[in-house]
Amino acid sequence: MTTKQKNHKKPAKKASPRNWQAPTKPSSGVQNKEIRITAIKDGTVIDHVPAAKVFDVVEILNLKSHKDVVSIATNLDSKKIGKKGILKVAGRELTKKEVDEISVVAPQATINIIKDFKVKEKSKVEVPQQLTAVFRCSNPKCITNLQPIATSFSIIAKNPVKALCFYCERVMGAEEIQLR
Amino acid sequence: MGGIVFKGRDIISIRDFSGEELLYVLSIARRMEQRPQPALMKGRIMASMFFEPSTRTRLSFTAAMKRMGGDTIGFAKGEVTSTKKGETLWDTVKMIEAYSDVIVIRHSLEGAARLSAEAASIPVINAGDGTNQHPTQTMIDLYTIQKEIGKLDGITIGFLGDLKYGRTVHSLAIALSHFKAKMYFISPTALKMPEYYLDELEQKRVTFHETDDVLKALKHLDVLYVTRIQQERFADPLEYEKFKNVYKVGPDILNGAKKSLIVLHPLPRVGEIDPALDEFPNAAYFRQAANGIPVRQAVLSLVLGAVK
Ligand SMILES: [Zn+2]
């Protein structure tokens, strides 16, 4: 998996001269788009987020109120997950809780910690055992959707993610998991 | 039995109990049935909070408490005014717990009992939360099977009817997974067991089969568990009529079955079982209903620490 990512990224980081002959091949379109994302000096890059979940990550990280640079690219082709998105967040490291929450909407995501334009640390997200609060139960008759209480789920399967609601005991599949 | 503690415990979901714990509840229920305890609950108050009507369940809990000398307070749907004004369930529970020793709750929303248990410092018993759980019903089912057949281990059970929405089926299947039971799920395709329950059973290494043909499964069964097929589950009333007739259980089914087969139904029935079956010893559903008293007595006295 790591080699794939490297292949993926190297050309993007490298020189632009190659770029203009690229558009004929769909896969090179990725390079084209990736290069448009500003590199960040210090911060976090979240890669391999399913395109449909990019704005969930924006919400999880509360990026609307982030003051430093945030660049987001989405609908990039990815061999691994179809259409993907990348988020680059300057001046910010993620908490364990945030990484846990991202793992549920984007189980394949990678988190790169950037220091001085270099990847200082790279890790894959890992789906935790327990989740609270940020997700809503997909069962409309669940008490958590009708009373002012925090949700709570246990993760019963990781690939694909399946979550069991602590209250109504309904199992949600990955596609049903939504933010509150 | 060491390690089993019920005092102060909530009874919310059948998933919260190990096989050993379930057997323990059944053993106390047997004791209650054999040697009634008319003064065991003297001075104790059970509060019943029935946000949704279920006369049968409410009366059964009330009778269980009163036959042990205990008292009851509570309300049934229609009598509640404060919740209509928007009081949260949490606040209602906080108020009721000050008046009682144990709370029995029935609610149309799933997870309501779990929420109440979090709010209350006294034990909470779930008497049905939407289509989710009704653990004392499952304990009654287990008690009946054990009493009628003599064991739970390795029995073969067929579930018939609405397996998609039937919470009694879901809970009993999960409970019986502790006892290596073999299961047949018999239903029209539209009312099949939900996939996530089948996944759970598979994980627990339960042997099960799915079929839409009662007769195919019948000869293997020790227990046939029949549930209501509700008309409102069908978009097309003609489909409902068709299923209703195909799945009607009458004396004729006994021809293809083991002589010892018992037929269970959580009641009330609405035409799934022909009353002509009632006179056969195989019809165990009224005995099952009567078992509600000793089982609920066992649960109440266990969580209140009145028996050990
Ligand atoms: Zn829920």
Rounded to whole angstroms, what are the CA distances from B206 to A162, B75, B150?
Answer: 20, 41, 21
Q: Assess whether A104 and A153 both reside in one domain.
A: no
In a domain, B104, yes or no: yes
Pair (A75, A115) in one structural domain: yes
Contact B110 A171 (CB under 8 A): no
CATH no. for residue B126?
3.40.50.1370
Say if residue A78 is in the same domain as residue A140.
no
A26 has a chain B CB within 8 A of its CB: no
Name the most confidently modeled range: A175-179, B202-206, B240-244: B202-206
Is A95 found in the same domain as A143?
Answer: no
Kindly state whether residue B79 falls inside one of the protein's structural domains: yes
Averaged pLDDT for residues A136-156: 93
Is the domain of B100 the same as that of B188?
Answer: no
- Average pLDDT rounded to a whole number, residues B57-62: 96
Residues A64 and A136 in one domain: no
Does residue B109 form part of some domain? yes
Element (DSSP H or E) covering residue A110? strand A110-115
- Tally the domains of chain B: 2
Instruction: Give the C-alpha separation, A43 to A116, whole Å.
Output: 9
Strand, helix or coil at B138? helix
pLDDT at residue number A1: 40
Query: B54 lies in a domain?
Result: yes
Residue B146 lies in a domain: yes
Which of these three, A124, A145, A170, is where a domain ends?
A: A124
- A 120-159: CB under 8 A from B: 137, 139, 141-144, 146-149
Residues A101 and A149 in one domain: no
Res A37 pLDDT > 80: no
Answer yes or no: do B260 and B215 share one domain.
Answer: yes
User: Sign (positive/negative) of CA torsion A27, A28, A34, A36?
Assistant: negative
Which has the minimum average pLDDT: A8-17, B65-74, B87-96, B225-234?
A8-17
Which amino acid is present at B64? Answer: A
* B146 and B256 assigned to the same domain: yes
A51 and A83 fall within a common domain:
yes
Structure-block tokens of residue B254: 């006994």
Of the residues B85, B189, B205, B259, which is catalytic?
A: B85
- CATH at residue A157: 2.30.30.20
Q: Residue B6 has what pLDDT?
A: 97
Q: How far is the CA of B230 from the centre of ligand 1 (A)?
A: 24
On whether both B105 and B139 belong to a single domain, the answer is no
Query: What is the pLDDT, as a whole number, of residue B85?
Result: 60
CATH number of the domain bearing residue A115: 3.30.70.140
- Clarify whether residues A49 and A107 are in a common domain: yes
> Which range of residues forms the domain containing residue B108?
14-133+292-303
Whether residues A70 and A139 fall in one domain: no
Q: Is B106 a catalytic residue?
A: yes
Neighbours of ion ligand 1 (CB under 5 A): A 137, 139, 142, 165, 167-168
Give the closest of B13, B112, B133 to A143, CB-based. B112
**Model pLDDT for residues B18-32, shown as the tens digit of each residue:** 999 999 999 999 999
Number of domain units in chain A: 2
- Structure-block tokens of residue B24: 């323990």
Confirm whether B147 is domain-assigned.
Answer: yes
- Please indicate, yes or no, whether residues B119 and B162 belong to a single structural domain of this protein: no
Whether A29 has a pLDDT exceeding 50, the answer reads no
A76 occurs within a structural domain = yes
Asked if the model's pLDDT at residue B230 lies above 90, the reply is no
Q: Is the pLDDT of residue B79 over 90?
A: no
In the predicted structure, residue B219 carries a pLDDT above the cut 90: yes
**What is the predicted pLDDT for the residue at B150?**
97
The stretch B212-235 carries a mean pLDDT of 89
Q: Are residues A69 and A109 in the same domain?
A: yes
H helix or E strand, kind and range, residue A60: helix A54-60
Distance from first CA to last CA of chain B, Å, rounded?
9
Predicted confidence at residue A36, as pLDDT, reads 54
User: Does residue B9 belong to any structural domain of this protein?
Assistant: no
Residue A116 lies in a domain: yes
Q: Is residue B6 part of a domain?
A: no
How big is chain A by its Cα radius of gyration, in Å? 18
Q: Are A92 and A143 within one domain?
A: no
Domain of residue A50 covers 43-124
Q: Which residue of A has its CA nearest to B197?
A: A171
- Can you tell me which residue has the tokens 């998105």? A85
Beta strands B156-160 and A171-173, pairing class: unpaired
Contact at 8 Å (CB) between B133 and B112?
no
Residues A54 and A103 in one domain: yes
> Pick from A169, A151, A137: which is nearest to B197 by CA?
A169
Per the model's pLDDT, the better-predicted residue between A14 and B131 turns out to be: B131
Q: Which of B152 and B85 is assigned the larger pLDDT?
A: B152
